[in-house]
Amino acid sequence: MFDSLFLILISIFVPIIVFTGFKIFKCSNYQKFLNVLSIVLLALEVLRFFYSTTFYTDAETPKEDLKFGIITILSIFSLFATFNNSKIKDSLRSIFVLVSLSPIILGLFDPSIYINSLDVNGVCKAMFMVQCGLTLAIALFYVLDNLKINPLNILWSVIFILIYVGINALTIWYWKMNTEFNLLWYMSYLTVVISIAVMFAIYYIYKFLTNKKDKNKIENK
């Protein structure tokens, strides 16, 4: 219970702290800030992986303790979304924003994706929680960087999640891991899909309020 509570709290406070720092230091370039955040997110994923291998002899991690999950995919995906300057940049960023709640949701349904019984100091656990917060921070700065998300991006985001679900299911089946394909497993991914619509609704409300504010400023001049 406490792990779930801390996961939620850290995931909320990390983007708040990052955004506050952005304002305090009066940064104006969202892209440079995103570059740093994306690199830090991937660096934490690499550190978490190598730190977890230190628990085992000759770094031979048992298959049931491999922590390859959605946060790993998003850590790599954020690099493509951040550093890509082609026409698909907005599409990549839109998908990242819409699925940014997925690591938190999956962590709440199944804490074993980030908890290792040998990690008595909770280092890997803490890094995962910070990663979830950084994922939301990156999503926030994508939106602030004049990102335009359209309803079609919801479809692409659902496809992205379904591809991951397929890979995850094949991994569990091939490596004969302890994860069961029970109701909880299906409910977790259904909640992730629902969260995509929720994130789009939040984005739509934000854009509506922003446009209304800008319109009022123009009218008051």
| DSSP element (H, E) containing 11 | helix 2-24
Residue range 17-38, pLDDT digits in tens: 999 999 998 888 999 999 999 9
Contact 127, 48 (CB under 8 A): yes
- Average pLDDT of 97-101? 98
* pTM of the model as a whole: 0.95
Q: How far apart are CA 100 and CA 192, in angstroms?
A: 9
Predicted confidence at residue 65, as pLDDT, reads: 66
Compute φ and ψ for 27, nearest 5 degrees: -75, 150
Whole-number pLDDT of residue 218: 73
* More confident of the two residues 64 and 52: 52
Task: Name the residue among 104, 119, 139 with its Cα closest to residue 7.
Answer: 104
Distance CA 106, CA 71 (A): 10
What is the per-residue pLDDT for 61?
Answer: 74
- Going by pLDDT thresholds of 50, 70 and 90, the confidence category of residue 175 is confident
Residue 64 in this model has a pLDDT that exceeds 70: no
Greater pLDDT, 145 or 218: 145
Residue 16: CB atoms within 10 A of its CB come to: 13
